[in-house]
Amino acid sequence: MKTLCTEQSPGRNRETLKLRAAALVITFLVFLFPAANGRAATLLPSWNDSPRRQAIISFVAAVTDPRSPDYVVPEKRVAVFDNDGTLWSEKPLYFQMFFVFSRIRELAPQHPEWRRQLPFKAVLENDRKALRKCGLEGLKQLLAASRAGAGDTEFAAAVRGWAARARHPRWHRPFTELVFQPMLELLSYLKDNGFTCFIASGGGVDFMRVLLPGIYNLPPWRIIGSYPETVYRDGAVVRLPKLAFLDNGPQKPVAIARQIGVRPLLACGNSDGDLEMLQYTAAGKGPRLALYIHHTDAVREYAYDRKSRIGRLARGLDCAAKNNWPVVDMKQDWRVIYPAEKPAAD
Amino acid sequence: MKTLCTEQSPGRNRETLKLRAAALVITFLVFLFPAANGRAATLLPSWNDSPRRQAIISFVAAVTDPRSPDYVVPEKRVAVFDNDGTLWSEKPLYFQMFFVFSRIRELAPQHPEWRRQLPFKAVLENDRKALRKCGLEGLKQLLAASRAGAGDTEFAAAVRGWAARARHPRWHRPFTELVFQPMLELLSYLKDNGFTCFIASGGGVDFMRVLLPGIYNLPPWRIIGSYPETVYRDGAVVRLPKLAFLDNGPQKPVAIARQIGVRPLLACGNSDGDLEMLQYTAAGKGPRLALYIHHTDAVREYAYDRKSRIGRLARGLDCAAKNNWPVVDMKQDWRVIYPAEKPAAD
């Protein structure tokens, strides 16, 4: 027997190698489809096992299990996420506004008229009170002016340059690191379960498309946002200094219908500006999940809702209570807020 | 030996089974990545081996070969395609207009005023001359009216119903079968090579999103088109009877910049309405491919260019000649025009 075994060994070794290769391939396939693996214990690891975490997991199970009466084909598994306050922080100001102020100062030498003209004057003089008085109209003007004129490459370089050097005034970290670790896990979890995730945010779309694809692992065309008037001129799409579309409130479902063309199964936001997006999602037939993130942790992040100037959540809390939408309590539900390590920022 | 073989057979059979499973998995992986398979002879099989086919293949090779100086990362491999006249026929009229006429007649009982009102009156009386006089403005009104009011489900049912029963007046086949087989192959070939393909068409976006995903194998959000004014109301996005955006000419690059956010590497069209999209594409840095489809086959399809009312190609032919853009000659370059078998329509 021993001799025979020895005789056969080259062939057997080859077969063993083949078996090992097969095992490797199978491991690789299992790795490709982690949903099928169903290790519930490691799902959403930065979430405490709260009713909100359970609501998410039950919902995903219901729409992805082919035997479930609520099963939804992958093509219809669309999820939409607000960005400011939902995927990353938004205090003391929307992060993009720090970029906008920096960019306005950078561009000021080319615009001597700004020294005498609100809201630009207020930015250049660092006059917060005057700036606040300019309200939403002032904000829209600044947003458009920060984008106008520059070509895609120049604008992307300006955004990346700012992101590399700017630091959050309280956390002293790059703004791009102040994303919510539990939400990064939720995005991955949905992707692993055949969902296509989109951002639907009030932020300027060109700004977001420079920074967010690398952070959230999605392509630029799955980011929907506010945009300026644009014209085509000599091979280029030129951005004019006037906002054409503010992606907020009832405009969010309008933009989602136009750009995605599928009513989402799941929507997640944190403010009254997201309410119509959540209502539009919830009003669809069959199972839907409308999810609010409630900022309740003044120590690890910020605590605000009904009376906040930025990220006000009042109508939304009432609507969620009335309709039994899960409201994530950041303090209770999240083990960690920000990633410990720097995420791969693009 | 025979006895030993018999003794070993249960184990060996199991191993043989495992080997077969491994082979199956490997076959499956090879099937998943056909680009790596590189069987050049079967690429674009419905294309004759013309300089145009060569231009496409060389371009794709240059941007996908990591050793090429023109290599482009997959995230930037965006391709845009016009639809009418580029991916399917557009004669004797844009196919959607057949649907629009049918829909206007269907809705007429709810709109008694249409009997006295152009362009509706012309449609209801089948008065082609009067209709032609209404021009582009009339067409825009009809397009918006055909979509207005209906919810997503009702509209999708109307489009599907029409597509199932309507037949092309010359070819007596469903309109959805009159897609160009060589272009279906080009879409697949690009997809296999890591490209993300989009439709950028003057057609109504909601109409296209019902029919095209099943034909071209792409999700609704990769279809860009014309759209009406919309408002959010009580959980629904309501389409108003007024066109907001006509996705044609210089508006095509504007919509591409807004919705995709990446300048395409490759653009393909067939009319002067696609010229700015091709120019925008060609004006990008590095390798780009701007491709025109020239309708030259009056027997198998249609022959038209400079003087055609629908699908006019005059400025485009001049620009292509000046810039050495490949111009596909349908008669010379395409072995077949339409698929022999019915494509999986949705």
- pLDDT (tens digit, 9 = 90+) per residue, A96-147? 999 999 999 999 999 999 999 999 999 999 999 999 999 999 999 999 999 9
Determine what percent of chain B is predicted with pLDDT higher than 90: 86
Residue A324 has what pLDDT?
Answer: 98
Higher pLDDT, B133 or A40: B133
For residue B223, which residues of chain A lie inside 8 Å, CB to CB? 261
- Beta strands B289-296 and A289-294, pairing class: unpaired
Model confidence at B84: pLDDT above 70: yes
B253: pLDDT strictly greater than 70: yes
DSSP A179: B
pLDDT at A36: 44
pLDDT of residue B42: 83
pLDDT, tens digit, 9 for 90 and up, residues B34-52: 444 444 558 999 999 999 9
Radius of gyration for chain B, computed over Cα atoms and rounded to the nearest angstrom: 24
Nearest to B261 among A209, A234, A260 (CB): A209
What integer pLDDT is reported at residue B276 of this predicted model? 98
- Calculate mean pLDDT across residues A312-320: 98
Please tell me the predicted confidence (pLDDT) of residue B18.
58
State ipTM.
0.87
Q: What is the predicted pLDDT for the residue at B21? A: 59
- Cα–Cα distance between A196 and A260 in angstroms, integer? 10
Contact by Cβ (8 Å): B301, B337: yes
Residue A203 in 3-state DSSP?
strand
pLDDT attached to residue A332: 98
- Interface test with chain A among B19, B26, B232, B239, by most A beta carbons within 10 Å: B232
How far, in Å, CA of B326 to CA of B278, rounded? 12
- Among partner residues B19, B213, B232, which is closest to A254 by beta-carbon distance? B232
- The C-alpha atoms of residue A133 and residue A152 are separated, in whole angstroms, by 32
CA distance A20 to B266: 42
Which chain B residue has its CA at the smallest distance from A237's CA?
B254
Among B221, B231, B240, B280, most A C-beta atoms within 10 A, so best to mutate, is: B221
For testing the chain A interface, which of B2, B227, B237, B325 should be mutated: the one with the most A CBs within 10 Å?
Answer: B237
pLDDT band at B19 (very low <50, low <70, confident <90, very high): low
Cβ–Cβ gap B280/A4 under 8 Å? no
Instruction: Kindly calculate the radius of gyration of chain A based on its CA atoms and give it in whole angstroms.
Output: 24
Which residue in chain A has the smallest CA separation from B7?
A: A1
CB contacts, 8 Å: B15 with chain A: 15, 19
Which of B201, B243, B258 is the best substitution to test chain A (most A C-beta atoms within 10 A)? B258
Task: Give the tens place of pLDDT for each residue, B221-241.
Answer: 999 999 999 999 999 999 999
Residue B8 banded pLDDT, cuts 50, 70, 90 = very low
**What distance in Å separates the CA atoms of residue A197 and residue A88, rounded to the nearest whole number?**
16
Q: pLDDT grade, residue B178 (50/70/90)?
A: very high
Cross-chain Cβ contact B221/A222 below 8 Å: yes
Contact A254 B276 (CB under 8 A): no
Beta bridge partners of B224: B200
How near does any CA of chain B get to the CA of A129, in Å?
A: 34
Could you count the other beta carbons within 10 Å of the beta carbon of residue A318? 13
Average pLDDT value for residue range A283-295? 97
Are β-strands A266-269 and A289-294 bridged in parallel, bridged antiparallel, or unpaired?
Answer: parallel
How high is the pLDDT of residue A131? 95
Assigned domain for A25 exists: no
CB-CB contact of B309 with B91 (8 Å): no
pLDDT at A16 over 70: no
Does residue A123 belong to any structural domain of this protein?
no
d(CA A229, nearest CA chain B) in Å: 9
Facing residue for B25 by CB, picked from A26, A206, A219: A26
Residues B184-215: tens digit of each pLDDT = 999 999 999 999 999 999 999 999 999 999 99
What CA–CA distance (Å, rounded) separates A267 from A276? Answer: 10
The answer to whether position B82 is within a domain reads yes
Q: Which chain B positions have a beta carbon within 8 Å of A258's beta carbon?
A: 205, 227, 230
In a domain, B107, yes or no: no
Q: Yes or no: say if A223 and A213 are a contact pair by the CB < 8 Å rule.
A: yes
Domain assignment present for residue B189? The answer is yes
Specify the pLDDT at position B342: 58
Nearest to B15 among A15, A236, A276 (CB): A15
- Do B260 and A221 count as a contact with CB atoms less than 8 A apart? yes
Mind listing the pLDDT tens digit for each residue in A236-262?
Answer: 999 999 999 999 999 999 999 999 999
pLDDT of residue B238: 97
Chain A residues with beta carbon closer than 8 angstroms to that of B29: 25
Contacts of B289 (CB under 8 A, 6+ apart): B55, B56, B59, B265, B266, B267, B281, B326
Average pLDDT over every residue of B258-282 = 98
pLDDT tens digits, A51-106: 999 999 999 999 999 999 999 999 999 999 999 999 999 999 999 999 999 999 99
Percent of chain B topping pLDDT 70: 86
- Residue B262 belongs to what domain range? 47-92+173-333
Contact yes or no for A261 and B19 at CB 8 A: no
- Which residues in chain A have Cβ-Cβ distances shorter than 8 Å to B19? 15, 18-19, 22
Q: Which of A337-346, B34-43, B99-108 has the lowest mean pLDDT?
A: B34-43
A22–B19 C-beta distance less than 8 A: yes
* Of residues A252, A303, A244, the one with CA closest to residue A83: A252
Q: How far apart are CA B281 and CA B252, in angstroms?
A: 11
Choose the closest CB to A236 out of B4, B196, B283: B283
CA distance B251 to chain A (A): 7
In this structure, what CATH number is given to the domain that contains residue A71?
3.40.50.1000
A237 with B231: Cβ contact below 8 A: no
For B301-343, the pLDDT digits (tens) are: 999 999 999 999 999 999 999 999 999 999 999 999 999 855 4
Element (H, E) at A63: helix A51-64
Interface test with B, best of A221, A230, A238, A279 (most B CBs within 10 A): A221
For residue B184, which of B156, B216, B157 has the smallest C-alpha distance?
A: B216
Q: What percentage of chain A carries pLDDT values higher than 70?
A: 86
Give B155's contacts in chain A (Cβ within 8 Å).
none
Q: Which residues of A touch B219 (CB under 8 A)?
A: 75, 196, 262
The per-residue pLDDT for B24 is: 56
How many folded domains does chain B comprise? Answer: 1
Measure in Å the smallest separation between the Cα of A19 and chain B Cα atoms: 7
Mean pLDDT for all residues in chain A: 91
**Residues contacting residue B33 through CB under 8 Å, at least 6 positions apart:** none
Please answer yes or no on whether A276 and B251 come within 8 Å at the CB atom. no
Longest CA–CA separation in chain A, Å: 98
Kindly tell me if the per-residue pLDDT of B29 is higher than 60.
no
H/E element, B230 = strand B223-233
Q: Is B30 contained in some domain? A: no
Over residues B269-287, the mean pLDDT reads: 98
Average pLDDT, rounded, for chain B: 91
Residues of A in contact with B231 (CB under 8 A): 250, 254
- Asked, for residue A165, whether it belongs to a domain, the answer is no
Indicate whether B268 belongs to any domain.
Answer: yes
